[in-house]
Amino acid sequence: MQPNLALIETELKQCPRCELWLPLSDFGVCNARADGLNLYDRVCIREKIAAGRQRLREYKASHPQIPADQLTIQPGITSRQLARKMRKLEPEEKVLMAIRCGAQTQRDIQLATRLTKDEVCECLAHLLLWSRDIRTDGTNNPRTYSINEEGQGAKRQPVRLREPRSYGVSTIYSESFVA
């Protein structure tokens, strides 16, 4: 006599990872799936998560972060104090604050402000070229940035409104009509 396959499939489910037929109670809940159960059984899920965490540990070990003591940030200012100061600032203000606190390279500024590389580059370009609040020192790598002190760099002057031109009419004639 052949067992009823419909009955077996409703009480058991196959885990594609270990390929075992297991009772439905061995699978966790997943509302996103049609049957309402996880694809893998609980044991396989645990193994999969543990393997992922191990890979992450290995990745972090092979890609070490720069220790805080190697950053060129002013001594006496902890990273927590710097983060607290920068929390509510605009990106440009964050970059300026980081430079004032001693971050010199683009990498230091990025680590201190927690902005993306693109955001840091955009802010540096604006601060260098338009507002001229900062200057770049040295042409070798890594390029360092510092604050422009008063009188060091030419600040941009605000745009002055010009009087409208008379296009070919001499000012002598325009004054006689006004008077």
Closest CA to 19 of 54, 53, 43: 43
pLDDT of res. 171: 60
pLDDT, greater one: 14 or 2 = 14
130-177 pLDDT, tens per residue?
Answer: 888 888 877 667 788 888 876 555 555 555 666 666 566 666 655 555
Residue 1 confidence class, pLDDT cut points 50, 70, 90 = very low
Q: Is residue 177 assigned to a domain?
A: no
The count of structural domains within the chain is 2
Q: Is residue 89 assigned to a domain?
A: yes
Q: Are 134 and 147 in contact (CB under 8 A)?
A: yes
The reply to whether 53 and 82 lie within a common domain is: no
Burial of 170: CB neighbours in 10 Å, binned 0-12, 13-18, 19+: exposed
Percent of the chain surpassing pLDDT 90: 27
CATH of the domain at 126: 1.10.10.10
Alpha-carbon span 64 to 79, nearest angstrom:
18
**Domain boundary pick from 62, 78, 105:** 62
The reply to whether 78 and 137 lie within a common domain is: yes
pLDDT of res. 155: 53
Angle between helices 91-100 and 117-129 (to 10 degrees): 80
91-143 pLDDT, tens per residue?
Answer: 888 888 888 888 888 888 888 888 899 999 999 998 888 888 888 877 667 78
> What single DSSP character describes residue 66?
P
The reply to whether 102 and 37 lie within a common domain is: no
Buried b (16+ CB within 10 A) or exposed e, 129-144: eeeebbeeeeeeeeeb
pLDDT of res. 71: 47
Domain membership of residue 138 as a residue range: 69-147
The yes-or-no verdict on residue 43 having pLDDT over 90 is yes
pLDDT of res. 26: 92
